[in-house]
Chain A
Amino acid sequence: VQEKEELIEEWQPEPLVPPVPKDHPALNYNVVSGPPTHVITVNGKECINFASFNFLGLLDNEKVKSAAQASLKKYGVGTCGPRGFYGTFDVHLELEERLAKFMRTEEAIIYSYGFATIASAIPAYSKRGDIVFVDEAACFAIQKGLQASRSNIKLFKHNDMADLERLLKEQETEDQKNPRKARVTRRFIVVEGLYMNTGDVCPLPELIKLKYKYKVRIFLEESLSFGVLGEHGRGITEHFGINIDDIDLISANMENSLASIGGFCCGRSFIIDHQRLSGQGYCFSASLPPLLAAAAIEALNIMEDNPDIFQTLRAKCKRIHKALQGISGLKVVGESFSPALHLQLEESCGSRENDVKLLKRVVDYCMNGGIALTQARYLEKEEKCLPAPSIRVVVTVEQTEQELDKAASLLKEAAQSVLN
């Protein structure tokens, strides 16, 4: 017993958190005073906003705000309870019906936080022993969902269908060795419609062919492509003209195009209904505040009434994509119709830290010139495949052509002065 007491005395734990250096780039946030809309006041300086994901410009829309005000007067702010215990409001049910009708699926389910949507949906279906094939460039929320599900994860190279087919074939040979086990292991492919980390689309038609050939289910994450791709904004399935029933589950968050908070999943009732009892972020957490649900309904109304904003957005994206080509020292990463582009350094200076510092100087130059930009932020130690440091450029419907040109020329100047 004496020994035990001594051991207890001697043991010294590590400090709870290691100290963070004062000049760490992620420590000092930009303070935005006032609404983060088209014209944004960052750290006291007025700039044109090229950094918030407000693709359809609905953040500042008067109709959306008045719908939210009406809901605030009727319901107050919070819901004070999870969905199971008096937290289900008629606005939630209405929003779920509207989303299901808009996406032309049977049912939809709403979560109160965008990150939690896909991170709760994946573990509800995929358990220990199941196999998930996921793209390397999947966003962090998907990675956390996969980690929580404890399934076997197989990464395939970004948008490389040959690599995926190779993995599927390997899995098939494994199955033939052990057919009884193969009959109960479920298989899933998780891809994003428009990748947040690289700005390109996934080749959905080929994925559908692979799905039926190897009997794998597809989960599609459409956070950036909902409200952007497709003729009516229904996302990548409309863009490629694919029957929506072929995709097992579509998950998206309402924080980008719909300018609200939260997320939703839609699909057939067979699949979505399961989440109502086993989605952790749905059962154990308070429901979405009704004013945000009302704002989302009104935003959906606007999207349905004006289908030509999607064309306008795509035209603007093409314009700035072209204008940003040929900047010395920076290369554009992303498709021409993607509203969220990355600008990466053509040549790295050696260490990630120095790259980040250099990009920060470019961003500061642009901020002084009146264009608000930001660097894409990642958790360096936790990501599976860390993308290179980059500047994020976001195109919204509200930006005029002059502003787009001004941004492009300012970036050219910044690159010239900082990188040469």
Chain B
Amino acid sequence: INHIVHNGGLYKRPFNEAFEETPMLVAVLTYVGYGVLTLFGYLRDFMRQWKIEKCQNATEREEQKDFVPLYQDFENFYNRNLYMRIRDSWNRPICSVPGAKVDMMERVSHDYNWTFTYTGRVIKDIINMGSYNYLGFAQNAGTCQEAAAKVLSQYGAGVCSTRQEMGNLDKHEELEKLVARFLGVESAMAYGMGFATNSMNIPALVGKGCLILSDELNHASLVLGARLSGATIRIFKHNNMQSLEKLLKDAIVHGQPRTRRPWKKILILVEGIYSMEGSIVRLPEVIALKKKYKSYLYLDEAHSIGALGPTGRGVVEYFGLNPEDVDVMMGTFTKSFGAAGGYIGGKKELIDYLRTYSHSAVYATSMSPPVVEQIITSMKCIMGEDGTTVGKARVQQLAENTRYFRRRLKEMGFIIYGNEDSPVVPLMLYMPAKIGAFGREMLKRNIGVVVVGFPATPIIESRARFCLSAAHTKEMLDT
């Protein structure tokens, strides 16, 4: 089903998203597959209980056997029976830079994935389609690394204090000014962890008596932040503007659920690119709705900053909109900048408020100096301020890679989700057996991919996800 574009006039460029429905036969087979696995699971549990089969989990201490059990049996059912069989597709340890090609430590399992032993051999030069390395800044040589090495020898690795106490280094101030300039906002603030940025700042902005409208497929950090804030949460269908508008209308007209008092604030939480679907948010429509109903917009650009837009400024630039329309622009440095951490950008009053009242500024250690230096150098490179055009070239290379890869996969007949321009490419697999088989077969051909199934995706829609990078060359993609 192709989504029809409403308000076509707001879009300055074609917006093609496609989410093909799963063919009926495949859906039935998938359910059958899961049914068989569940039956086998019960059978094996039964055998384990009657000690016919050996029980290989870790167990509780002898002295504590009469305590209330720590885990419910049913919770672990999925873990024991389904996850264990294909566990070797995840948590693969690597021992080199997570660039376009990686070296992976080989591991074998002699007892069906309950334990792994490392053979000590290293599989070299696996094409890496799994790391979030969009602009290829995960390098161990070059200007970024040299700058980071210098800062490391000068400042040390840690900071040992919080931002508000003694941890605010001059490097942090430099970084924040740079981020604000990059995004085109008044001011910005940086934090040590992307997940924590969301979960600690949403509670500082909204509280009881406020309404949060969040997309169906928002990331765990946004959901956790919304829950911790204590505000009422309502969910609208993924990227569906009619659903959002209906919720907004109802909220303003009816007010809070029992008291009918008007809401204090309404905050809309959306992401730039959704990592499991590969879809891009319909930002022009969201901004139009936000202005009409006087609510506030919180945009999480974890995957889209650096990856979209002609100069890598993210989804706001991709649509050609004004960054001042978005009230809170949040993003992470892990994906496109090859470092770690998160930031929030916006008006000066917002950032001043966050400097005083954010949980992270008061209680959490500030960012490590070499990481800060890596972000500063890579951001300057993308903006072109270091005098070369390497940054712009990388952004363009990523866009080309994306288009080429998607086109070729479609030609080969696979079902691909998501927007034409998003560098996250999910390829549908559906059947549980295929998940494990796909991962292992690709590894045999020296390609490392990421497969995801339940619970990160709906149960019949498991997929393999490719993350494209500017460092991938055409030959690598052809393989």
Which residues of A are interface residues toward B (Cβ below 8 A)? Answer: 4, 7-8, 11-14, 16-20, 24, 26-27, 29-37, 40, 42, 49, 51-54, 59-60, 64-65, 68-69, 72-81, 83-90, 92-93, 112-116, 119, 125, 139-141, 144, 147-148, 182-187, 212, 215, 217, 245, 253-256, 258-261, 268-271, 273-274, 276-277, 280-281, 283-286, 288-289, 291-292, 295, 372, 374-379, 382, 392
Contact = CB atoms under 8 A, between A and B. Distances in A.
Contacts of B173: 31
A386 B139 CA distance: 46
Contacts of B149: 69, 72-73
Contact of A16 (B205, B339, B352): B205
Contact of B365 (A184, A261, A285): A261
Closest 8 CB pairs of A and B: A285-B195, A113-B193, A17-B353, A295-B157, A29-B168, A270-B58, A115-B364, A77-B374
B359 A29 contact: no
A301 B264 CA distance: 54
A24 B263 CA distance: 28
Interface string B82-126: 010000001111111111001001000000000000000000000
B95 A116 contact: no
A289 B353 contact: no
A69 B146 CA distance: 10
A146 to B, nearest CB: 11
B220 A215 contact: no
B195 A284 contact: yes
Given A72-B152, A215-B68, 5 more contacts: A16-B296, A78-B340, A81-B131, A85-B450, A125-B70
Contact of A372 (B154, B166, B337): B166
A13 B263 contact: yes
A383 to B, nearest CB: 10
11 contacts: A12-B294, A36-B166, A40-B166, A77-B338, A78-B337, A140-B362, A215-B66, A245-B61, A255-B160, A276-B91, A280-B220
Given A29-B355, A286-B194, A36 B161 contact: yes
A86 B140 contact: no
Nearest to B148: A77
Interface residues of B, number: 122
Interface stretch (B221-229, B313-321, B388-396, B407-415): B221-229
B476 interface: no
Contacts of B95: 89-90
A285 B193 contact: yes
B79 interface: yes
B155 to A, nearest CB: 4
Interface string B51-90: 0000001111101101111111000000100010000001
A20 B69 CA distance: 49
B352 A20 contact: yes
B265 A379 contact: no
B15 interface: no
B357 interface: yes
Given A86-B102, A113-B192, A215-B66, A16 B355 contact: no
